[in-house]
Chains A and B, each alone.
Chain A
Amino acid sequence: MAEEKSLLAVFSDIDPAADAIEQLRLLGVHDDCMNVISGIPVTEAMLGRPSQWTNVPRLALGGAAAGFLVGVFLAFITPNMYTIQVGGQPFTPVPPAVIVMFEMTMLGMLISTFVGVFFDSLFPNYRPMHYVPEISDGKIAILIECPPPDTQKITDVLKKLGAESVKEAEAQHL
């Protein structure tokens, strides 16, 4: 089986990019073989693309649970590890423990959310990648994986739909 080729089509606006995606689908390019790269968050609905999967909310929830357990450990377990009885005072009172558990839960949640972005986006990634700097200047690019015999046909269709440029994508250091 021939190796797939990568094409990078650059559009100046969302509308022609959305039309192009629809046309690519009609040409038999599967959604998994396309990726949209943009300088602003363009929603899947605008481009008619399937919803993207993200683990960030689940990781946040996991982090919150882990943080809560750390809070429980600090508030309820550690006093038993090095016991210091203060006359007339409860040893592991609940109200102050709520504060410790709250802070640790939130810290766990926010750290795991942050780490989740790194984890899901594979950051940091300093390897060569398919990209053109015009994207951060407002252009929208569609990265297409297709069999070599289809490249000319796809290029022609995309140009007809208003692509500013369609070229074979070259991985480069950003």
Chain B
Amino acid sequence: MADHKHHTSHEEHLREQHLMLDPMPRGKMNEMVMEAMHTTSWKFWLVFGLLAAIVAYALFYKWGVMILEGLGVAGVNRPSYWGIFLVNTVFWIGISHAGTFISAILRVFKAEFRRPFTRAAELMTTFGLVQAGFSIFMHMGRVWLSYWLMPIPNQRGLWPNFHSPLSWDLLAITTYLLSSTMYLFLPLIPDLAMARDRTPDGTWQKVFYRTLALGFRGTEGEWTHLRNALNIFAFAIIPVMFSVHTIVSWDFAMATRPGWNSTIFGPYFVVGALHSGMGAVVMVLAVVRGTMKNMKYFIRPEHFEAIGKLMLIISMTWGYFFFNDYIVQWYGGDKWTKELLHWHEAGPMGWMWFGMLICNVAIPWAILWNKKWRSTPWLLFIVGMLINVGMWFERYIIVPISLTINRMPFTWRLYQPGIEVWLGIGTLAFFILLYMAASKLIPLIPVWEVQEGQMAHSLKKYGRETVVTVSELE
């Protein structure tokens, strides 16, 4: 009798812990997701309005000022021609990697914990790339001539030089932006159809969902085409994701500059992107869980625990790549490289170098080894935020600080940012603003994927132990 009670409470405990073992009727889950979308407090609108004002001032007004006045209002100057614009470009592309990593890689490896938050991560990819695009266009200065990058014949009689990493950047980022947007949209179609079915006629929302759902009903054919497409996307978008940040790293590594000309920069950048991206995902999930209605059912401590483990592994990998990059350059003994490494650690911005190591390595390692701590949403939010601070520092060290030291000491000058600080704040506010708007327009939880996962999971008794089993439904 006591044994039976023990097993029942163990089963209850498992169901409480795991979303996949705690199914609800599909209609109820749909209702919860729709309710989360439609329940909006005054606090939401306050933050939304504040962010909209910041975007209007810091992004659009200040960018307008820079267009009118010229790039002189920015701090970029000899020898640091690449400043915060490029730091932010690399940063936002990094953020965008988490969506694909979570959605595609975890889908390929059938990691079941991914199911409720794939969309939240995919949205970050698309919106992160939008900010990366903004940052590149700002960096151009004469943004109205940006079409010169496109491979179209023009009056200059010139084609873009495809031997240049900057042209590869254009191709890679465009490919990634288009691919990730399509990859966001495809699994969204069934949820848009669900929203269409649950929205009353005669409202603008009905028109919106009806248009975007494209007439999806869920026929066998539609599901087959969709499933095939998602499989192709999941496999194909992974090398695209890797290529994007590798190519971004080549913008630096292809130059024979001290500190940049490193064969390990590609994978080092990719791991760094995943590091900041995972940190951002966990921040978004903590906020969504804490502020949106019914989200505590879908996003549970088990998800933070799983992401926390990934963050720990990625942090260790980042530390490994960082040290590998550092030790080879340090051991090489090149005069200017040594000068640069000394400048990183002991120069006026040395605090940033140490801050980077504390945020990217020391803090994650100190906290994420503990299961209880890494299952605590608010703590993971803080760790995610610090990782992002650390990764932003890393990009700042690579871009303007490394540019300060070159083979011509008479040009050495510490980079002092100007209007780009405002523009950076503007992109951050715009990212959050887009995310907040999306959370009210599209279902953040892929309900059909959650239900599919719940169907595949069950509890089975082996002897006296109750264990979780997962079936292969595809």
Contacts and interface: CB of A to CB of B under 8 A. Distances in A.
Nearest to B172: A103
B220 A35 contact: yes
A130 B56 CA distance: 46
Contacts of A43: 473-474
Where chain A touches its partner, the secondary structure class is helix
Contacts of A136: 26, 30, 190, 193-194, 197-198, 218
A5 to B, nearest CB: 19
Contacts of B226: 41, 117, 121
Interface string B175-191: 10011001101100010
Given A40-B455, A56-B229, A121-B225, A110 B219 contact: no
Q: From DSSP, what is the main secondary structure of chain B's interface residues? A: helix
B373 interface: no
A91 B467 CA distance: 63
B229 to A, nearest CB: 5
B362 interface: no
Interface stretch (B127-135, B231-239, B279-287, B295-303): B231-239
B163, B168, B171, B224: most-surrounded residue (chain A CB, <10 A): B163
Contacts of B182: 110-111, 113-114
Contacts of B243: 99, 102-103, 106
Interface string A30-60: 0000011111111110100100111011001
Interface residues of A, number: 60
B218 A135 contact: yes
A121 B222 contact: yes
A46 to B, nearest CB: 8
Contacts of A52: 220-221, 224
A81 B157 CA distance: 9
B217 interface: yes
Taking each of A39, A44, A81, A93, which has the highest tally of chain B beta carbons within 10 Å of its own beta carbon? A39
B213 A113 contact: no
Contact of B178 (A38, A41, A56, A107): A107
Given A124-B214, A136-B218, 10 more contacts: A74-B162, A96-B163, A99-B171, A100-B167, A106-B239, A109-B232, A117-B186, A136-B190, A136-B194, A174-B193
Interface of B: 25-27, 30, 151, 153, 157-159, 161-163, 167-168, 171-172, 174-175, 178-179, 182-183, 185-186, 190, 193-194, 196-198, 210-211, 213-229, 232-233, 236-237, 239-240, 243, 247, 448, 451-452, 455, 473-474
8 contacts: A37-B220, A38-B218, A39-B218, A84-B158, A96-B162, A99-B243, A114-B186, A129-B217
